[in-house]
């Protein structure tokens, strides 16, 4: 073997260890391919040599590749590097990036020399990324919950389309705006920030009130976390918010039902007792006075019998309006029985309690209401009791006020009596 042949063999070995495919084409046929090229088309190198390059080009790309090949040999300005698809031995497409030029020897013979880089993996990765991006966009576009993202300044950088159903805004209207400006109160925003700061950058199941575009309020339940870059630096906040406005409305109705009398919308017996005990504890602690009034509508059964239960209900509601107009903001009322009510009046001694009771009694006697074209008049008897001993509780106060009420009934009704 000559030195020239030996050098050529060494050169072939070198090319076979090159990472990219290498080829030489003369008169439209392969005269050399390295092992990488052969593996890309899944065909032994010796079977490729002598074959037209066009037989290894995917049919859909053939016209472009042949045109570039002929134009390049003719000296025209065509791309040196471009993408197309090879066709392997099984007829499958292989994405590649070609870089090719023309060598002209001293006899004028032209040889196309080039390299090809396998793009299959990167193309697959790009397709997977595109598919993933499409999947994520599809999820964001169709999910009922709101996905959002803010930067470190709290400015909105991403908002899913579902925000329109929840808050009435188009996502584009909110981009670049401070997220804090959409909360009903600073305290609502602060709740989420406090959770993020105290729980390793995560906020879980936090309820807050947001402002709808039409001025109404919406309740949301949000999960959020602090986004970080590869170095662990905070770059913003990301979260998902669910509209729980209807649930909150149901909760409020249930809470109201549990706390308030359905007809008169004042405290029911249980809640009146609870709130009164709290006030009595404060009164004992600071040695302050407090009073309880027991109120009973006189001969209420006759109202029901004569005018009907609907009219009786209207009388009860009418009476509560009189009471609300007579008491202070610090006083509170409760319905303790059918036509029996109680008023708790903190910071009130016996003299002031009697004045309050007389005021309610007089307003009731002087009032009347018309129901179904019938005028109804009624009266009320009231018993008053005040805190005397440090051992007095709400049961003692109500019992004493009830005794005074009994005295008012015995005295002919439509009057006020105090427990002595």
CA–CA separation, 387 vs 170, rounded Å?
Answer: 60
The whole-number pLDDT of residue 192 equals: 87
CATH 3.30.70.270 fits 260-418, yes or no: yes
To the nearest whole number, what is the mean pLDDT of the chain?
A: 90
CA–CA separation, 129 vs 369, rounded Å?
Answer: 75
Q: Are strands 93-104 and 81-87 parallel, antiparallel or unpaired?
A: antiparallel
Tokens of 150: 């803010």
Say if residue 415's pLDDT is above 90: yes
CA–CA separation, 406 vs 205, rounded Å?
Answer: 53
**Stretch 295-299: mean pLDDT:** 96
What CATH number was assigned to the domain covering residues 3-123? 3.30.450.20
Q: Which of 284, 272, 311 is nearest to 395 (CA)?
A: 272
**Stretch 403-420: mean pLDDT:** 96
The whole-number pLDDT of residue 4 equals: 47
**Stretch 320-335: mean pLDDT:** 96
CA dihedral 32, 35, 36, 42 (to 10 degrees): 100
CA–CA separation, 259 vs 379, rounded Å?
Answer: 27
pLDDT tens digits, 243-290: 999 988 888 888 888 889 989 999 999 999 999 999 999 999 999 999
**Stretch 343-369: mean pLDDT:** 96
Give the least confident one: 235-244, 336-345, 410-419.
235-244
pLDDT tens digits, 1-60: 455 454 556 666 667 767 889 999 999 999 999 999 999 999 999 999 999 999 999 999
Structural contact between residues 192 and 203, judged by C-beta atoms closer than 8 angstroms: yes
CA–CA separation, 57 vs 92, rounded Å?
Answer: 10
The whole-number pLDDT of residue 137 equals: 67
3-123 matches 144-248 in fold:
yes
Say if residue 97's pLDDT is above 70: yes
Structural contact between residues 367 and 249, judged by C-beta atoms closer than 8 angstroms: no
Instruction: Give 420's pLDDT tier (boundaries 50, 70, 90).
Output: confident
CA–CA separation, 160 vs 154, rounded Å?
Answer: 17
H helices present in 74-204, as ranges: 120-142, 163-167, 171-174, 186-198
The whole-number pLDDT of residue 108 equals: 87
Judge residue 238's burial from the number of C-beta atoms within 10 Å of its C-beta, 0-12 exposed, 13-18 middle, 19 or more buried. middle
The whole-number pLDDT of residue 41 equals: 94
Tokens of 331: 């006083």
| Annotation: CATH topology of 144-248 | Beta-Lactamase (3.30.450)
CA–CA separation, 295 vs 279, rounded Å?
Answer: 20
Instruction: Give 340's pLDDT tier (boundaries 50, 70, 90).
Output: very high
Structural contact between residues 316 and 339, judged by C-beta atoms closer than 8 angstroms: yes
The whole-number pLDDT of residue 199 equals: 64
**Stretch 300-308: mean pLDDT:** 93
Structural contact between residues 283 and 290, judged by C-beta atoms closer than 8 angstroms: yes
The domain limits of the chain are 3-123, 144-248, 260-418
pLDDT tens digits, 145-195: 899 999 999 999 999 999 999 999 999 999 999 999 999 999 888 888 888
Q: Which of 87, 95, 90, 92 is nearest to 118 (CA)?
A: 95
Inter-residue long-range contacts of 96-104, CB under 8 Å, 24+ positions, other chains counted: 96/21, 96/40, 100/72, 102/72, 102/73
């Amino acid at each position: 073997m000559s030195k020239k042949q030996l050098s050529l063999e060494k050169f072939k070995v070198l090319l076979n260890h090159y990472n990219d495919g290498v080829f030489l084409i003369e008169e439209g046929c392969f005269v050399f391919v390295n092992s990488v090229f052969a593996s890309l088309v899944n065909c032994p190198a010796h079977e490729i040599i002598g074959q037209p390059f066009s037989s290894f080009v995917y049919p859909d790309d053939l016209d472009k590749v042949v045109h570039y090949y002929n134009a390049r040999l003719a000296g025209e300005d065509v791309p040196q590097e471009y993408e197309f698809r090879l066709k392997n031995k099984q007829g499958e497409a292989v994405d590649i990036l070609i870089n090719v030029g023309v060598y002209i020897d001293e006899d004028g013979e032209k040889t196309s020399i080039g390299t090809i880089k396998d793009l299959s993996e990167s193309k697959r990765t790009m397709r997977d990324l595109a598919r993933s991006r499409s999947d994520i966009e599809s999820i964001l576009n169709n999910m009922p919950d709101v996905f959002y993202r803010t930067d470190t300044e709290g400015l909105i950088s991403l908002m899913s389309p579902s925000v329109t159903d929840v808050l009435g805004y188009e996502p584009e209207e909110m981009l670049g705006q401070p997220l804090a400006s959409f909360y009903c109160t600073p305290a609502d925003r602060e709740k989420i920030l406090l959770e993020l700061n105290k729980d390793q950058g995560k906020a879980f199941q936090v309820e807050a009130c947001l402002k709808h575009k039409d001025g109404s309020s919406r309740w949301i339940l949000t999960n959020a976390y602090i986004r970080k870059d590869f170095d662990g630096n905070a770059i913003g906040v990301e979260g998902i918010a669910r509209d729980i406005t209807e649930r909150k409305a149901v909760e409020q109705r249930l809470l109201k039902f549990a706390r308030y009398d359905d007809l008169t919308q004042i405290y029911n017996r249980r809640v009146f007792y609870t709130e009164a005990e709290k006030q009595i504890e404060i009164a004992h602690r600071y040695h302050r006075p407090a009073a309880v009034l027991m109120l009973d509508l006189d001969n209420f059964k006759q109202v029901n019998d004569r005018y009907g239960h609907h009219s009786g209900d209207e009388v009860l509601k009418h009476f509560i309006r009189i009471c609300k107009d007579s008491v202070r903001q610090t006083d509170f009322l409760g319905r303790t029985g059918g036509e029996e009510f109680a008023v708790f009046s903190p910071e009130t001694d016996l003299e002031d309690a009697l004045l309050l009771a007389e005021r309610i009694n007089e307003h009731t006697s002087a009032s009347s209401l018309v129901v179904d074209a019938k005028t109804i008049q009624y009266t009320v008897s009231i018993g008053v009791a005040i805190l005397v001993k440090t051992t007095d509780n709400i049961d003692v106060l109500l019992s004493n006020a009830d005794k005074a009420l009994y005295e008012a009934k015995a005295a002919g009704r439509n009057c006020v009596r105090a427990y002595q």
